[in-house]
């Protein structure tokens, strides 16, 4: 048999100069942290686990400007200007092009709410000092990652995890669709794991891309927490002695089966579920820079195909692209009208919804459309796609079906705005549909724009 006609097998990988750093970004234990409309408290009362900020820098050589990938234990940018100012500080301090920065949020719903407009609320006086401190932490993490960067290989492998479930549940007794565990529909269980190893094959960092809302801890919880992401990182740290950077996937309709609780043990259990799935994917990887090639046939009870492990030259390609996607907005009240409605009601849930709508109107402007960023990185054989909205998993499933290789699809990258649900759901009373400021067809617009942008970078 001609072994040259047989395909090789390898994990997608990138070889270059890679740095990893992680810093504690835990806010004061009594900061304003009302992320849930149903919450009866405004300020946190303690810390479950530290909030962490993780940075990975990627360069083809030491002379190059870095690709900066950041992940922070925050929910959303309630005030878009806060996130923009922090990203501008990174671009300015390290002379990084806009296309080479992705600042991502893990999307915990048990963290601080970072809007200076909330300064008058209980614990709100701590927001602006914390934002200033956070900016310093971000610059510290990027600098540390660059300063400690070494020649390394980033290797990717797919796995699966059953933590995420569909959460668009049709309540046949009460009528309508509620946001909660829906056992009648399967969920995307795809897990993508990246392993960073130095030239001595020591693991120096782990990247995890998985789509699942961190909503274990909800309105009765009064503790600052990274939700399940915290325990997941602990599992990985104990096994590898390396920091973990988490990238929230396209999780618009995905969340844990066990959620909406105050019991941190359940959040930790959810995290361990994901953590052990990550370890399985790590264990299943080939060593860095090793591929399997068909070798020969050994005749036994059956003809046995023998594959051999051999080294290969890992790709050092790094490319970045950024564009803007124009989304049509639904008819919405003006900022003035929203503020009038807010002042006219004393209902806490209604006020919370109006305050969020106010933030959307400020962040997206008063027009009938909005331009939102979209990023794509070619990192060796792999592709990273980041955008700030909360896309449904259909987006990542379709992208993976169209593009070969390891693909990390990231929600809440470089901002946060609203949900992007499939067009077919816009005639249903689903939270992600009525909450979203975007018209039907916006998810499909994102998909088309992504495919078009990918054509501009190497495949």
- Domain match, 48 and 159 both: yes
- Tens of pLDDT, residue by residue over 137-154, are 999 999 999 999 999 999
29 inside domain: yes
pLDDT of residue 268: 98
d(CA 213, CA 190): 14
Structure tokens at 296: 């020969």
The last residue of one of the domains, among 239, 260, 283, is: 283
d(CA 330, CA 349): 22
pLDDT of residue 1: 39
Decide if 53 contacts 35 (C-beta within 8 A): no
Q: What is the DSSP letter of 178?
A: E
DSSP, collapsed to helix, strand or coil, labels residue 258 as coil
> What is the overall mean pLDDT for the chain?
94
430 inside domain: yes
- Domain match, 234 and 138 both: yes
Considering only CA atoms, which of 61, 84, 58, 59 is closest in space to residue 69? Answer: 58
102 inside domain: yes
Query: Does residue 403 carry a pLDDT above 80?
Result: yes
Considering only CA atoms, which of 369, 14, 336 is closest in space to residue 156? Answer: 14
Percent of the chain predicted with pLDDT > 70: 98
pLDDT of residue 349: 72
What average pLDDT score do residues 3-26 get?
A: 90
293 inside domain: no
- Domain match, 323 and 265 both: no
Decide if 208 contacts 229 (C-beta within 8 A): no
Percent of the chain predicted with pLDDT > 90: 86
Q: Is the pTM of this model over 0.85?
A: yes
d(CA 73, CA 228): 11
The pLDDT-based confidence of 4 (bands split at 50, 70, 90) is low
d(CA 222, CA 47): 9
d(CA 81, CA 58): 27
Query: Does residue 2 carry a pLDDT above 60?
Result: no
- Could you list the residue range(s) of the whole structural domain that residue 222 is in? 13-283
Considering only CA atoms, which of 219, 225, 212 is closest in space to residue 112? Answer: 225
269 inside domain: yes
Query: Does residue 14 carry a pLDDT above 50?
Result: yes
- Domain match, 240 and 341 both: no
Decide if 218 contacts 224 (C-beta within 8 A): no
What average pLDDT score do residues 260-288 get?
A: 98
What average pLDDT score do residues 66-81 get?
A: 96
- Domain match, 279 and 374 both: no
What average pLDDT score do residues 384-403 get?
A: 97
**Total structural domains in the chain?**
2
Query: Does residue 26 carry a pLDDT above 60?
Result: yes
Q: Side-chain half-sphere of 108: how many Cα atoms within 13 Å?
A: 31
Locus of tokens 């008819």 = 331
pLDDT of residue 3: 44
pLDDT of residue 348: 72
- Tens of pLDDT, residue by residue over 342-367, are 788 888 777 777 767 777 777 777 78
386 inside domain: yes
What average pLDDT score do residues 158-170 get?
A: 97
Of 43-57, 224-238, 245-259, 318-332, least confident by mean pLDDT is 318-332
The last residue of one of the domains, among 283, 309, 332, is: 283
The last residue of one of the domains, among 265, 283, 301, is: 283
Structure tokens at 405: 């290789």
346 inside domain: yes
């Amino acid at each position: 048999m001609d072994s040259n006609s047989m395909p090789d097998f390898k994990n997608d990988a990138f070889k270059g100069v890679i740095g990893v750093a992680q810093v504690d970004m835990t806010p004061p234990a009594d900061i304003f942290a009302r992320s849930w409309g149903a919450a009866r408290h405004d300020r946190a009362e303690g810390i479950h686990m530290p909030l962490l900020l993780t940075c990975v820098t990627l360069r083809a050589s030491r002379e190059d400007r870095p690709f900066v990938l950041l992940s922070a234990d925050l929910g959303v940018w309630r005030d878009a200007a806060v996130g923009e100012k922090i990203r501008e500080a990174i671009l300015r301090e390290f002379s990084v092009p806009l296309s080479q920065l992705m600042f991502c949020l893990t999307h915990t719903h048990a963290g601080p709410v970072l809007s200076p407009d909330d300064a008058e609320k209980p614990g709100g006086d701590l927001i602006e000092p914390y934002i200033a401190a956070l900016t310093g932490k971000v610059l510290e993490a990027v600098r540390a990652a660059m300063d400690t960067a070494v020649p390394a290989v980033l290797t990717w492998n797919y796995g699966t995890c059953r933590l995420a479930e569909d959460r668009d549940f049709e309540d046949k007794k009460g009528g309508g669709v509620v946001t909660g565990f829906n056992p009648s529909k399967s969920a995307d269980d795809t897990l993508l794991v990246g392993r960073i190893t130095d030239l001595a094959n020591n693991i120096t960092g782990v990247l995890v891309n998985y789509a699942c809302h961190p909503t274990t801890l909800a309105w009765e919880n009064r503790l600052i927490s990274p939700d399940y992401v915290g325990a997941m990182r602990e599992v990985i740290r104990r096994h590898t002695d390396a920091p973990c950077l988490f990238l929230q996937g396209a999780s618009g309709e995905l969340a844990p089966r066990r959620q909406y609780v105050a019991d941190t043990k359940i959040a930790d259990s959810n995290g361990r579920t994901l953590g052990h799935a990550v370890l399985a994917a790590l264990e299943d990887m080939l060593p860095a820079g090793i591929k399997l090639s068909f070798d020969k046939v050994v005749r036994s009870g059956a003809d046995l195909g023998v594959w051999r492990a051999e080294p290969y030259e890992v790709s050092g390609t790094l490319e970045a692209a950024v564009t803007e996607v124009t989304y049509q907005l639904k008819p919405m009240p003006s900022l003035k009208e929203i503020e009038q409605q807010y002042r006219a009601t004393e209902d806490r849930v209604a006020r919370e919804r109006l305050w969020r709508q106010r933030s959307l109107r400020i962040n997206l402007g008063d027009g009938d459309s909005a331009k939102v960023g979209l990023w794509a990185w070619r990192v060796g054989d792999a592709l990273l796609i980041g955008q700030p909205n909360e896309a449904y998993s259909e987006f990542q499933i379709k992208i993976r079906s169209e593009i070969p290789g390891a693909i990390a699809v990231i929600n809440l990258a470089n901002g946060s705005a609203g949900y992007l649900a499939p067009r077919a759901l816009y005639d249903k009373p689903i939270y992600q549909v009525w909450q979203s400021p975007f018209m039907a067809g916006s998810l499909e617009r994102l998909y088309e724009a992504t495919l078009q942008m990918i054509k501009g970078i190497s495949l």
